[in-house]
Amino acid sequence: MADWIEIKAHDGGAFQAYVERPANRSGPVVICIQEIFGVNHAMRDIARHWADQGYIAVAPDLFWRQEPGVDITDKSEEEWKKAFSLFQGFDLENGIEDLKSTIDYARTMDGATGKVGTVGFCLGGKLAYLLACRSDADCNVSYYGVGIEELLGEASAIKAPLVMHIAEEDGFVPKEAQMKIKAGLDAVEQVSIYNYPGMDHAFARIGGTPYDEANANLANSRSLAAFQKTLA
């Protein structure tokens, strides 16, 4: 069953989060961190996917400080322009704080076990990496996160498992950046990096142009295995 909840922000105000629950309405929580298109149909489908796996799925609206309720696609030039404008105007530090507030809230939700994982895509993939560095989430999963190569100095703070899915032909994460990420995280015991040859950015977004079912299913199975191990 889908619902929207309200979460208090660290600096005043509140933001909405989309929630999908498993059939028994209880379990660990997986926080689904949006791309640059807001909590749109694709993100709501991702939340439904994790609910189907037995998790309470929570997708917070991270663009609320700019425009609450953003719900756009990758199907038109106008929407892409708006998405990039929102991305450029996004306050990273406040976004991390909003996600930490979401984690705190998630641990006390009705039916929640207290265990919380995160899974993020694109912008959300970058935020999932930063949550591994800065939060007490029990497990974090990053799909084709952008800009992580600039944040490797924080990697020594990673204490909980971090799974990273890297598309080798990612148009937004060049091969040089991929090499830096792998080199910078190679010695971090808690990090597992999976490469997807021939795949472009957003290969796991159902309905998107780069979507590849076989590789998306493979990546999702690896994410599920990580959550089953850490959130049980």
Q: Let me know if 49 is a catalytic residue.
A: no
Out of 61, 98, 170, 212, the active site residue is 170
Q: Is the dihedral of CA 190, 194, 200, 202 positive or negative?
A: negative
Domains and CATH numbers, the chain: 2-231 (3.40.50.1820)
| Share of residues in the chain with pLDDT > 90 (%) | 97
Q: Let me know if 74 is a catalytic residue.
A: no
Out of 49, 98, 165, 201, the active site residue is 201
Assess contact for 119 and 128: CB atoms under 8 A.
Answer: yes
Residues of the chain with confidence (pLDDT) below 50: none
71-127 pLDDT, tens digit each: 999 999 999 999 999 999 999 999 999 999 999 999 999 999 999 999 999 999 999
The closest alpha carbon to 124, from 60, 211, 182, 73, belongs to 60
Question: How would DSSP label each residue in 6-71?
Answer: EEE-TTSSEEEEEEE--TTS-EEEEEEEP-TTBS-HHHHHHHHHHHHTT-EEEEE-TTTTT-TT-B
- pTM comes to 0.97
